[in-house]
C-alpha cells in the first residue's frame, strides 16, 4: 500500500522486492515528513543541495542535472543500495517521477528474485536453470534482502549489532543441529545428478503365469537311483514264470 502520492514511491513498488520496497517506502515517507531544502549552490551542471533531516543534521546532496547522478553525505546508497530520503527529496524537486535506472540495483528487483539460482557449489547465479524449488528460491531471495537491510539497520549501534550477531549465530547453530541436508534436498540433489525427476507413481506389470506342471522330470539323486534299480530288479524276478 502506498503511503504518499509521489510517483517515485509507486515506481519503487513496481521494481523492488517486497522487503526492499518496505525500506524504500520508509525513506520516501521520511523525505516527505522531515526533509526540506535549506540551500542550493549551482556550479555548471552540478547542483549542491543542503537538506535538513529529522536529527537536525544537514545532509549535502550533489546532483548532476544532466546525468541525474546523485551523491549524499549520508552514504546510504553506497552501503545499502537504496537511495536515501535526502536524494529522494532532490529527485522530487527536480521533477523525477521514477528512480533513475543507475540507482535501481538489479539484486533488489523483483526480476532478480525470479531469476535467482545457484551453481553446483551453492554459489549464486543468475539464470533460469536451478534444481531448487520456487519456494526455496523465493525464501532465499527474501532472506538475502532482510539480512542486508537488518545489517544496515544495526551497524551504527553496538547494542543492535551485538543482538544481530547473536541471533544469526543462534540460527546457524540451530541449522547445524537440524542436519547438514534434509531428505528432500537429497532427493533433489540426486535428481539433478541423473538429470530427471523421480516419478510420483511407479507401476509394475505382474509377470505372466507359467504352467510348469508335468513339463519336465526332476533329476534323481544317487540314492534314489539305487533304490529304483533294486525295485526294477525285484520286478523282473517276479516276472519269471513260476513253473
> Which residues bind to Zn ion, rule: CB under 5 A?
59, 72, 74, 84, 86
CB 63, CB 89: distance < 8 Å: no
Taking the mean position of all CA atoms in its chain, how far away is CA 90? Answer: 35
When the beta carbons of 27 and 188 are compared against Zn ion, the nearer one is: 27
Q: Which is nearer to Zn ion, 89 or 144 (CB)?
A: 89
CA distances from 216 to 211, 212, 213, 228, 229 (A): 11, 8, 8, 19, 21
Q: Measured between alpha carbons, how far is 48 from 64 in angstroms, rounded to an integer?
A: 9
For Zn ion, give the closer residue by CB, 63 or 108.
63
Non-local CB neighbours of 40 within 8 Å, separated by 6+ positions: 47, 48, 49, 50
CB of 66 to Zn ion, least distance (A): 21
* Of 72 and 96, CB closest to Zn ion: 72
For the bound state, the minimum distance from the C-beta of residue 77 to Zn ion, rounded and expressed in Å, comes to 8
Cβ-based nearer residue to Zn ion, 80 or 144: 80
C-beta of residue 40 within 8 angstroms of C-beta of residue 56 = no
User: Which grid cell sits at 19?
Assistant: 522487503
Give least dist CB 76 to Zn ion, A: 5
CB 105 → Zn ion: shortest distance, Å?
16
Kindly give the pairing relationship between strand 46-52 and strand 116-118: unpaired
- Taking the complex as a whole, the smallest distance from the CB of residue 86 to Zn ion amounts, in Å, to 3
Amino acid at each position: 500500500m502506498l503511503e504518499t502520492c509521489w510517483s517515485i514511491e509507486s515506481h519503487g513498488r513496481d521494481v523492488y522486492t517486497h522487503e526492499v520496497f518496505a525500506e524504500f517506502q520508509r525513506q520516501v515517507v521520511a523525505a516527505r515528513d522531515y526533509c526540506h531544502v535549506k540551500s542550493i549552490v549551482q556550479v555548471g551542471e552540478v547542483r549542491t543541495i543542503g537538506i535538513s533531516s529529522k536529527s537536525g543534521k544537514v545532509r549535502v546532496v550533489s546532483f548532476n542535472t544532466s546525468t541525474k547522478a546523485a551523491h549524499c553525505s549520508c552514504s546510504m546508497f553506497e552501503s545499502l543500495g537504496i537511495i536515501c530520503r535526502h536524494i529522494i527529496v532532490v529527485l522530487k524537486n527536480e521533477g523525477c517521477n521514477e528512480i533513475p535506472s543507475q540507482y535501481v540495483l538489479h539484486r533488489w528487483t523483483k526480476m532478480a528474485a525470479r531469476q535467482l539460482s545457484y551453481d553446483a557449489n551453492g554459489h549464486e547465479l543468475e539464470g533460469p536453470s536451478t534444481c531448487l524449488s520456487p519456494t526455496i528460491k523465493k525464501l532465499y531471495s527474501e532472506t538475502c534482502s532482510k539480512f542486508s537491510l537488518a545489517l544496515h539497520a544495526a551497524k551504527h549501534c553496538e547494542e543492535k549489532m551485538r543482538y544481530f550477531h547473536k541471533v544469526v549465530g543462534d540460527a546457524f547453530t540451530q541449522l547445524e543441529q537440524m542436519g547438514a541436508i534434509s531428505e528432500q534436498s537429497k532427493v533433489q540433489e540426486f535428481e539433478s545428478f541423473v538429470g530427471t525427476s523421480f516419478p510420483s507413481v511407479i507401476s509394475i506389470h505382474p509377470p505372466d503365469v507359467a504352467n510348469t506342471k508335468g513339463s519336465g522330470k526332476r533329476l534323481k539323486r544317487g540314492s534314489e537311483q539305487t533304490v529304483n534299480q533294486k525295485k526294477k530288479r525285484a520286478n523282473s524276478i517276479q516276472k519269471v514264470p513260476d513253473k
